[in-house]
Structure 1
Amino acid sequence: MTNIQIAGDFFLEPAEALDDICAALEGLPADASVETIAKAINGKLDNDVAMIGFTPESVAIAVRRALGVAKTWRDYEWQVIDSEAVPPAMHLALDDILAQEVAAGRRAPTLRFWEWDRAAIIIGKFQSLKNEVDLEATREHGVEVIRRVTGGGAMFVEKGTAITYSLYAPTELVADMSFADSYAFLDNWVLKALNEIGIDAFYKPLNDITSSKGKIGGAAQKRYQRNTVLHHVTMAYDMDAAKMMQVLRIGREKLSDKGTASAAKRVDPVKSQTGMERRAVIDHMKKTFLDLNGGSEGAITAEEYAAAEKLVAEKFATQEWLTQIP
């Protein structure tokens, strides 16, 4: 890299430090990593330099984007959102809205953790409602049924029993991978986090996170405008297997013909393998993601919430969407 020029909407004191930042980049390889570039910048700046509105890391990301080599996790300024509990249909609408905001460039790539406020079954986009769900049992147990925009199988969750997260990532992050390979790649950080708390987690193609003691969770994806991939995962923390078998028809076939004990073995909750509180597991997952990929705490905007509420009314809460025949 030579003849570096940096411009942008930021503040810098003293202003002369901009020359030092440019000088730090002179002679670096064009494929230098974010870490290498940021380290070079930090090495040139005095301790009293104030960078306001940008960081050495953000300069590094901008440089790599300008050179067309931005395809690693660290090339993006991630936001991590620990979102509040909202109705199930609202979560699905938020997934759609936030993915489209990232695709349009109005939101940074984002990791969002969900909080469920009630029991729910979430069926895949291409599933038959009547084939998958015992509707009489859901009414008896007060379980809400919704349909998501991604494919895959039905999931049963209750308040405080699941760990669910969504990634809204640039498609270029997985541009050189097959669709199948992208699943495991986007969840590598999760496997590391689970390994660190004592779970021998590994990926089972196409979309299962599992361990030697049983399945932990499953993933699903949707691509938006070829710019963004929505990748979301639900993991069992403390599952009521007996209730799940009552409300999910497919659960009765897949899990067991011998009773609840066998079902509990098939989908082994995170709680039983770690003994950790659910919130502690989520906090560790957040820390692992930030340590590996960088980023900062973020939030859903009022405009995004409003757009999601509109989408709930127009799509995700309608019988037409729920009962569609694929």
Structure 2
Amino acid sequence: MHGEYKVPGGKLVVADVDVSEGVRIKRAQISGDFFLEPDDALERINGALAGLPIEASTAQVAARVRAALGDGVEMIGFSPEAVAVAVRRALTGATGWHDHQWEFVHDVPREPALQMALDEVLAEEVGNGERPPTLRVWEWASNAVIVGSFQSLRNEVDLEGAAKHNVTVVRRISGGGAMFVEPGNTITYSLYVPESLVSGLSFVESYAFLDDWVIGALNELGIAATYQPINDITSPAGKIAGAAQKRFAGGALLHHVTMAYDMDAAKMVEVLRIGREKLSDKGTTSANKRVDPLRSQTGLERGAVIDRMAGSFKERYGLAEGKIGDETVAEAQQRVLTKFGTEEWLTRVP
């Protein structure tokens, strides 16, 4: 059994595991591009893993490794927890990024409710094996506020402000906070992946794992971007992006991210019921300023940022041009009528 785990901001940890009679680890070999001192500490790690039941949790595996190492060991670029994740990924049959043929869709502008429906339909197609894992960059046809699946509509959105600024309010299927978007002011993308890609990772770990490529892309653009648990990407100039996830019973995972390119903060606070503290978290201390971390820090047009991001993904994992077929769009349009465009769905949490 083979499992790999790239530590966000760190090194690759690889676990090759033999199992005895399907119940315990018979032999384990840890490897990777990490640094470890003293040299014999690797044998201690491997020895600690032998005999562990295959049901052992990540925390239990990490505790076993930590106890075997004791004091005086330097682990650079990884940790006992990273070893444990690699082992769990081996035992659960996790796949890696390079195990999949990725498709890229830079989508046409679509109305907000249809965007919500497409996320659900595309994820289901990946789970059903009808579509390869896909990176989709959205384009918005109109202004929108997107509330999280579990947020209270009246607590999050000023409906009068939304009407004043011609903003459509919709609800997505993932949790997390509300987003304000206008065409051209954000970069929104979705990853539709098989659940095997995040097998062995906790919910929180999967966020860092799936965001690692885009943080690398932003670093290549000269932005000192870092992951901030649970679901934010930030820089010294302020928050850049927020992520959200939804896991499907069919074996797929949706991971979508909205990044601030050049946002009108004054308009945002008229539409969203957010205070000064949350506005500051988004990179500005005054509603009279624009939230523009991507534009100001890169000096690039929005399209150029998207191209550079997609290019970075392609260099890492490969990326072929894909498309969204008419049948997929038709199914999403039907779900707008029955779910995502209905008052019942929008006010599921009034």
Q: For this structure pair, what is the TM-score category when the shorter chain's length is used for normalisation?
A: 0.7 to 0.9
The equivalent residue for 2:328 is 304
User: Residue in 2 aligned with 1:225?
Assistant: 249
Instruction: Give the conservation status (yes or no) of the 8 Å contact 1:150–1:221.
Output: yes
Match of 1:192 in 2: 216
Aligned position for 2:319: 295
Q: Residue 262 of structure 1 aligns to a residue in which SS?
A: coil
Match of 1:283 among 292, 307, 318: 307
Say whether residues 1:124 and 2:116 are aligned partners: no
Q: 2 CA distance for matches of 1:133 and 1:145?
A: 8
Match of 2:203 among 172, 179, 184: 179
CA contact (8 A) 1:244 1:251 kept: no
- Residues 220 and 232 in structure 1, CA contact (< 8 A), matched pair in contact too: yes
- CA shift, 1:294, in A, is 1.1
Give the equivalent residue in structure 1 for 2:10.
none
Distance of 1:175 and 1:69 partners within structure 2? 7
- Structure 2 unmatched ranges of 5 or more: 1-91
Matched, 1:83 2:103: no
Task: Assess if the C-alpha contact under 8 Å between 2:93 and 2:199 holds in 1.
Answer: no
Superposed displacement of residue 262, structure 1: 3.2
Q: CA deviation at 1:117?
A: 1.3
Report if aligned partners of 2:94, 2:198 keep a CA contact under 8 Å in 1.
Answer: no
State the distance in 2 between where 1:225 and 1:126 align. 19
CA distance in 1, matches of 2:96, 2:181: 33
1:132-162: CA deviation from partner (whole Å, max 9, x where unpaired): 0000111111111000000000000001000
For residues 211 and 157 of structure 1, the distance between their equivalents in structure 2, rounded to whole angstroms, comes to 20
TM-score, normalization by structure 2: 0.70
Instruction: Indicate the RMSD between aligned Cα atoms, in angstroms.
Output: 1.8
Identity %: 59
Give runs of aligned pairs for residues 47-126 of structure 1, distance below 5 A: 71-126=95-150
Match of residue 215 from structure 1? 239
Deviation, structure 1 residue 228: 0.7
- Displacement after TM superposition at 1:225 (Å): 1.2
Amino acid at match of 1:316: F
Q: Partner amino acid for 2:341?
A: A
1: CA distance between counterparts of 2:94 and 2:246?
A: 22
Q: CA deviation at 1:107?
A: 0.6
Please give the alpha-carbon distance, in whole angstroms, between the structure 2 residues aligned to 1:110 and 1:177.
20
Opposite residue 125 of structure 2, the aligned amino acid is E
Asked whether the equivalents of residues 262 and 291 of structure 2 are also in contact (C-alpha less than 8 Å), the reply is no
Find the counterpart in structure 1 of residue 226 from structure 2: 202
Give distance in 1, aligned partners of 2:95 and 2:294: 32
Checking the alignment, whether the CA contact within 8 Å between 1:203 and 1:209 is kept in structure 2 is yes
1:149 correspondence with 2:148? no
Shift of 1:263: 5.0
SS at match of 2:263: coil
Task: Write out the 4+ residue segments of structure 1 that deviate beyond 6 Å after TM superposition.
Answer: none
Aligned-partner Cα distance in 1 for 2:290–2:227: 15
> How far apart in 2 are the matches of 1:208 and 1:226?
27
Larger strand share, 1 or 2:
2
- How far the C-alpha of 1:325 sits from its partner, in A, is 1.9
What is the letter of the counterpart of residue 303 of structure 1?
Answer: E
Q: CA deviation at 1:255?
A: 1.9
Check conservation: 1:214, 1:266, Cα contact below 8 A: no
Q: Secondary structure at the match of 1:299?
A: coil
Gaps of 5+ in 1: 1-67
Which of 255, 266, 275 is equivalent to 1:242? 266
Distance between the aligned counterparts of 1:281 and 1:254, measured in 2? Answer: 26
Q: How far off its partner does 1:295 sit?
A: 2.6
Q: Is contact 1:208–1:215 with CA below 8 Å preserved after alignment?
A: yes
Do the aligned residues in 2 keep the contact of 1:166 with 1:230 (CA within 8 Å)? Answer: yes
State the aligned residue count. Answer: 256
TM-score (norm 1): 0.75
Measure, in 2, the Cα distance between the counterparts of 1:271 and 1:178: 33
Q: CA deviation at 1:90?
A: 0.6
2:161 to 137, 144, 161: 137
Q: Which amino acid aligns with 1:315?
A: K
Give a deviation string over 1:54-104, Cα, whole Å, max 9, x none. xxxxxxxxxxxxxx9661101001111101001011111000000000011
Asked if structure 1 preserves the Cα contact closer than 8 Å seen for 2:147 and 2:177, the reply is: yes
CA-to-aligned-CA distance 1:112-136 (integer Å, 9 cap, x gap): 0000111110000000100000001
